[in-house]
Amino acid sequence: MAYLDNIAIFVRVVELGNLSAAGRDMRLSPAVASNRVKELEKHLGVRLFNRTTRQLTPTEQGRAFYEGARKVLEAVDEAEASVAALSGQPRGTIRVTAPLGIGKRLIASGIPEFRDKYPEIEVRLRLSDHEVDMMREGIDVAFKLGILENSSFRMRGIMDCDRVLAAAPAYLERRGEPQTPQELIEDNHDCLMLRFPGTRESLWALETDAGPQKFEVRGPFDSDDGDVITGWALAGRGIINKPRFEIEPFLRDRRLKIILPQNPPVPVKLAALYPHKKFQDPKVRLLVDFMAGRCQRMIADILAGR
207 and 178 share one domain: yes
Q: Domain holding 148: CATH number?
A: 3.40.190.10
Please check whether residues 215 and 284 belong to one and the same domain.
Answer: no
Structural contact between residues 244 and 164, judged by C-beta atoms closer than 8 angstroms? yes
* Beta partners for residue 223, in sequence order: 194
Sign of the torsion formed by the C-alpha atoms of 275, 281, 284 and 289: positive
pTM above 0.95? no
- Domain residue limits at 227: 163-266
pLDDT of residue 1: 60
Q: What is the pLDDT of residue 239?
A: 97
- CA angle (105, 111, 117) in 5-degree steps: 140
Segment 87-92 long-range contacts (CB within 8 Å, at least 24 positions apart): 89/120, 90/118, 90/120, 90/121, 90/281, 90/282, 90/283, 90/286, 91/120, 91/121, 91/283, 92/120, 92/121, 92/122, 92/281, 92/283
Q: Mind listing the pLDDT tens digit for each residue in 187-199?
A: 999 999 887 544 5
Residues 43 and 184 in one domain: no
Q: Are residues 76 and 197 in the same domain?
A: no
Same domain, 167 and 141: no
Whether 68 and 189 map to the same domain: the answer is no
Number of domains in the chain: 3
Residue 277 DSSP class: G
Mind listing the pLDDT tens digit for each residue in 8-61? Answer: 888 888 877 778 877 777 778 888 888 888 888 888 888 888 877 667 788 888
Do 211 and 292 belong to one domain? Answer: no
Mean model confidence pLDDT for the chain: 85
Do 153 and 275 lie in one domain? The reply is: yes
| Residue 289 DSSP code | H
| pLDDT for the residue 71 | 79
- Which of 250, 266, 282 is the last residue before a domain boundary? 266
Same domain, 3 and 71: yes
Taking the alpha carbons at both ends of the chain, their separation in whole angstroms is 49
How far is 167 from 230, CA to CA, in rounded Å? 9
* Residues 180 and 236 both lie in one domain: yes
Return the pLDDT at 278.
58
Same domain, yes or no, for 57 and 99?
A: no
**Number of residues that this document lists for the chain:** 306
My answer on whether 67 and 5 are in the same domain is yes
- pLDDT number for residue 34: 83
Residue that is last in its domain, among 83, 103, 137: 83
